[in-house]
Structure 1
Amino acid sequence: MQFVNTLSQAPRRVLALISLACVALLAFGMYLQHVQGLEPCPMCIVQRYALVLVAVLTGLASLRPNKGWWMGWGVLALLASGFGAFVAARQSWLQWYPPEFASCGRDFYGMIENYSLSRAIPMIFRGSGDCTAIDWTFLGGSIANWSFVCFVLFFGVIATLLVRRR
């Protein structure tokens, strides 16, 4: 209970820390993609967008001491983290129980060869990896599993701040 009280005393700092944590997670995702060579799947891309949204919204929430300001942005960040948790949970479920025909995205070079550039560029941002593939693990959990844990933690902390400061 003391931890919850500590969180409630400095909500703007906590929201700023969540924003920084999101930026760190995004940087780690870029490291895995560009240094380790892991291709993100469409669900991974959606989770990245949700992470960017949580980072921006919590960052905005931490800017002003006005209670209405940070609570308004906090509610939006809560919704974004809930959406990210949902997508990560769905991907984790697909990894545990893969369907017979997994089709999450197209091959990058196949897109460039078969489509005009104006159609291929949006497809590139949708991701090209297989959503059911587990390419990286840490302590037995896939990227989707850890993404789910992070989104749930963000959701829990933001919800606690909103409820305690209401």
Structure 2
Amino acid sequence: MNFVKFSPRLWFLLGFIGCCSLLGAGAYMQFVEELEPCPLCISQRLAILATGIIFLLAALHNKGYKAYAIGAAVSALIGAGISARHVWLQHLPPDQVPECGPGLEYVFQHFPLTETIKLMLSGTGECSQIEGVFLGLSIPGWTFIAFLMLAAFSLLTIWLKAKTDESRG
């Protein structure tokens, strides 16, 4: 299969499907495997959702593919930064792990929005717990890789479109 012949819209649709798959995996882990997401997990899901929405808009809209590609890449790289922080927290020595905070439901009801966002992006002691490992990487480690792949996938659209235009021109 020649990937160069893919239209940007189809490429973005595939990116959207990838984001939906990641969100589905997160929902499975939460509701079937009963792994309660920590603040950083929820922040990563929001970054996946934002990236997926950008991919969907790009697939539906037939103009400005470069702007959508860059927007999706930025969103994915923000998510990668959150995942990197999560992995870093998981590898801290026990005496350097931050204290566990109140539950997110309590935080949303009683804290100002700026404090809630700070907590969701910085993480708490519960974020340092490793709930599962696959091939030597924790869930946030795999999420980090997924974000990097989504960013690369998005930016690859620009290169593929240029190659397609070159071969036609």
TM (norm. structure 2) is 0.77
Structure 1 residue ranges without an equivalent (≥5): none
Question: Could you tell me which of 88, 95, 105 is aligned with 1:93?
Answer: 88
Aligned amino acid, residue 53 of structure 1: A
Question: Could you tell me which of 16, 19, 30 is aligned with 2:16?
Answer: 19
Looking at secondary structure, tell me which structure has more helix per residue.
Answer: 2
Q: Is the 8 A contact 1:40 1:128 kept in 2?
A: no
Shift of 1:95: 1.2
Q: Is the 8 A contact 1:39 1:128 kept in 2?
A: no
Deviations 1:80-121 (A, max 9, x none): 001011111111122122452423532469x4xxx8x9427x
1:154 aligns with 2:150: yes
Q: Is the 8 A contact 2:99 2:125 kept in 1?
A: no
Counting matched residue pairs gives 155
Shift of 1:16: 0.6
Deviations 1:14-73 (A, max 9, x none): 21111111111111111111221111111111101100001000010011333x2x2222
Q: Is the 8 A contact 1:92 1:144 kept in 2?
A: yes
Aligned match of 2:132: 136
The percentage of aligned residue pairs carrying the same residue is 31
Aligned partners of 1:103 and 1:97: how far apart in 2?
A: 13
Aligned amino acid, residue 45 of structure 2: R
Aligned partners of 2:37 and 2:67: how far apart in 1?
A: 32
Structure 2 residue ranges without an equivalent (≥5): 163-169
Aligned partners of 1:79 and 1:108: how far apart in 2?
A: 26
1:63 aligns with 2:54: no
Aligned partners of 2:84 and 2:57: how far apart in 1?
A: 27
Aligned amino acid, residue 73 of structure 1: Y
Aligned partners of 1:57 and 1:88: how far apart in 2?
A: 19
Shift of 1:129: 7.3
Aligned amino acid, residue 48 of structure 1: R
Aligned partners of 1:7 and 1:43: how far apart in 2?
A: 36
Q: Is the 8 A contact 1:7 1:161 kept in 2?
A: no
Aligned partners of 1:77 and 1:152: how far apart in 2?
A: 11
Shift of 1:164: 4.2
Aligned match of 2:3: 6
Q: CA RMSD in A?
A: 2.8
Aligned partners of 1:28 and 1:153: how far apart in 2?
A: 16
Aligned partners of 1:157 and 1:83: how far apart in 2?
A: 15
Q: How does 1:25-36 map to 2 (within 5 A)?
A: 25-36=22-33
1:119 aligns with 2:110: yes
